[in-house]
Amino acid sequence: MGAWSDFWRLHHAARVLARHDALIPREYLDGLPLSLRMARRLLGTREREDKIAPPGVRLAAALESLGPAYIKLGQVLATRPDLIGPDIARALETLQDRLPPFPTEDAKKQIEASLLKPVTEIFSSFSEPVAAASIAQVHIGETADGTPKKVAVKVLRPGILQEFSKDLSAFAFAARQAERFSAEARRLQLRAVVDTLAASVALELDLRMEGAAASELAENTKNDRDFRVPAVDWSRTAGHVLTSEWIDGTPIRDPAEVEAAGHDPKRIATVVVQSFLTQALRDGFFHADLHPGNLFVDGDGKLVAVDFGIMGRLDPAMRRFLAETLGGFLARDYMRVAQVHYDAGFVPRAHPIETFAQALRAIGEPIFGRTARDVSMAKLLAQLFDTTYRFDMQAQPQLIMLQKTMVVVEGVARSLDPDFDIWEASRPVVETWMLEQVGPEARLREVGDGVNALGRLARDLPQLLRNAEIVSTMLADGGMRLHPDTVRQIADAQAQRTRHVRVAIWIAAVALGVLAAGLL
């Protein structure tokens, strides 16, 4: 893609942003050089447009009008409050990924080109589009061979690959030029932001990857009582088309409709939160777009999620970090929480750890003494991240995705049950997770991975004892008692453990005893 083509695409985008007063917003004019003030006028900024709306809302509207690539850019920027500020980031979370549908005949041509068969040989019936977004749209079909099955057929927009290629080329050009002339742009790593966007889009533009995400989530949750994933029809899936089981369920948008279908909205609210947390904490792989339009209740009362284009992952190290952070907050041990951040390298050691612990105390202490319904888990995480940013913690995309999904999940739950207690609903999942992550047995299992783990465990013995103290404090009389669901989950987990794992744990325990005797 030529530099001139990139330049003119960026120029067009700049004019659109300026018309929304979102390129050089009036709120930021004080202190700006005369050259930027003149550029603002030359680009045609409308002083009266969106007069009341804040800058972030104006930016979201401008990005929506610029099309799919800019909508995706806005979604990526929403995960970088360190780059654009928390207010702008929150506003970009409202971006609407909706566009008018394209003709059904074009969808059929896409299917035939991808599956190398006439549509009539693949589907005995094929509807007009029932949903349309920036990248693809969905039709209802019925399979043509064997026992007819009702399916959802997702088809990429024609030409979307080429359009994204052009816009991503322009974004990369802009980032290169910015980093060439601006030290601040280099510090913010603008090229890395564009690379993140390009990687995300590459996955979304290959519908086989979305099918694989659905398949992985289905495998992880196959034994979950209250959640399931539509089955993927791989024989009718390719890069530009994804076919999956059609869900004849009740949308959860309206609590009255959920109740009329014979389901308890309060129970569904609990299932939404517990399913999300289980995916994130147990599996490290979660659906990151759980808005009401993507959630249904089937005839068996199970929660069913659709649309797997946006998924989140937490690697084991990040889950351990979260476990120890949560344990420290529950024990009101703010110095330990601070140390976890420093040990992970998230906060530069130039900041005194005592000052950081003091800032964490300002987050944690207001929680104690308040009713659970008065405290939002999503807001607590947001406050934690805002504090760490002030101490120069770099953005952690895994954690930001988790927190932003929690905002949506919490909103969905409270729309179903205005009195929803997210802490009580989360407790059985979090308790089990804490026992698995910071309990002594978790460290013993590490030893079973190899002889080298023994030295690591000896090094961590003081923290092992501290973790045991945290868990004991949580479970002590008058403290946090195990939820009945937690007891059931632990019993199930114990029953499912293989004999080999049990043997490894006992061997590790004996080895620890020998090691401890040698140290005495």
Alpha-carbon span 395 to 73, nearest angstrom: 17
Give the integer Cα–Cα distance in Å for 403 and 120: 45
Residue with the two structure tokens 């040698």: 518
Burial of 460 (0-12, 13-18, 19+ CB in 10 A): middle
- Helical (H) or strand (E) element with 477: none
Chain centre distance of CA 382: 14
Q: Which member of 289, 307, 333, 417 is catalytic? A: 289
User: Amino acid identity, residue 214?
Assistant: A
How many Å apart are CA 27 and CA 498, to the nearest integer? 62
Q: Which single residue is written with the structure tokens 């109740």?
A: 259
CB atoms within 10 A of CB 61: 20
The bridge status of strand 303-305 relative to strand 227-228 is parallel
Give me the amino acid identity at 151: V
Beta-strand ranges (E) seen in 321-380 are none
- CB-hemisphere CA count at 13 Å for 506? 6
For residues 267 and 514, what is the distance between their CA atoms, to the nearest angstrom? 50
Q: What's the CA gap between 134 and 198, in Å, rounded?
A: 15
Contact between 403 and 382 (Cβ < 8 Å)? yes
d(Cα 79, Cα 86) in Å, to the nearest integer?
A: 9
Structure tokens at 392: 């120069």
Residue 437 in contact with residue 323, Cβ under 8 Å? yes
Please give the structure tokens belonging to residue 436.
């698995």
Both structure tokens of 12: 């067009």
Residues in the chain: 520
- 293, 253 in Cβ contact below 8 A? yes
| Those residues with Cβ within 8 angstroms of residue 463's Cβ, 6 or more apart along the chain or in another chain | none
**Tokens 């979305």 belong to residue:** 210
Instruction: Read off the tokens for 321.
Output: 């970090």
Burial-class residue 256 by CB neighbours within 10 Å (0-12, 13-18, 19+): exposed
| 289 flagged as catalytic | yes
Q: How far apart are CA 218 and CA 308, in angstroms?
A: 11
For residue 387, give the nearest of 432, 343, 341 by alpha carbon.
341
Tokens 């970088």 belong to residue: 80
Question: Which residues belong to the active site?
Answer: 289
